[in-house]
Amino acid sequence: MRNGAIALACAVLLAFAADPLISGAAQTGTAKGGAAAGAAVQAAGEPAAWITRDVELNLKDLPKTYSCDDLWYKLRGILLAIGAREYMAITPYSCGHGAANDGRSPTLELKFQTLRALSAAQARWADTEAVTRIVRLGPGEPKILDSGDCALLEQVEDTVFSYLDMPVVEKNFDCSAPSGSSPRGATRFALSVRVLLQKSGHSSST
């Protein structure tokens, strides 16, 4: 009987240590254990559906000329960063040095999909799961953006992000500053927005 009791106790202890939520709570204490449980709930995601967006972006008096390819890659990088689906259509017009106004007021047609959270009553229409995250954009975030894209990102935030009703957590645009004014020779600008991202490892059913 004693050997059987010891074996049972060992099995319970092993199960306890193997469970990441239980062992995490035991190791970090009650307060941190509660935070871990909250993170686990958030990681579980919420029901969401992909919504098709169709936007015409009219950029005005940019401080530099972008080629059509440049604009395609810049907008794609921005949209992917805020959780847009990988498959999208971006059609730039009036770009490059051969266009009117030296291509500094180009137009882009954007067709893409972003996630919309669904209520419990709407959950049957969900085709994926999503989590809320704060995404920061600026030079190098995503990598396609550089120190000369301040005005571009500012106009995208003012038009596309406004259309998406995307909550802005923080923004700092000083696009009038020369690019060499900072110690590292880069215009300082940053934008943080709250977005809905597809839960990692979860594939859409459509």
Q: Is residue 28 part of a domain?
A: no
How many domains does one find in the chain? 1
Q: Is residue 174 part of a domain?
A: yes
Q: Is residue 180 part of a domain?
A: yes
Q: Is a pLDDT exceeding 50 seen at residue 133?
A: yes
Q: Is residue 7 part of a domain?
A: no
Q: Is residue 58 part of a domain?
A: yes
pLDDT in tens, 136-154: 999 999 999 999 999 999 9
Domain around 194: 46-198
Q: How far apart are CA 121 and CA 72, in angstroms?
A: 38
- % of residues, the chain, pLDDT over 90: 63
What is 75-95 written as a DSSP string? HHHHHHHTT--S--EEEEES-
pLDDT in tens, 152-184: 999 999 999 999 999 999 999 988 865 444 444
- Which residues sit opposite 92 in a β-bridge? 108
Position with higher pLDDT, 38 vs 73: 73
Q: Is a pLDDT exceeding 80 seen at residue 89?
A: yes
Q: Is a pLDDT exceeding 80 seen at residue 32?
A: no
Q: Is residue 114 part of a domain?
A: yes
Please state the pTM of the whole predicted model.
Answer: 0.73
What is 92-135 written as a DSSP string? EES-STTSGGGG-S-EEEEEEEEEEE--GGGGGG--EEEEEEEE
Q: Is residue 186 part of a domain?
A: yes
Q: Is residue 79 part of a domain?
A: yes
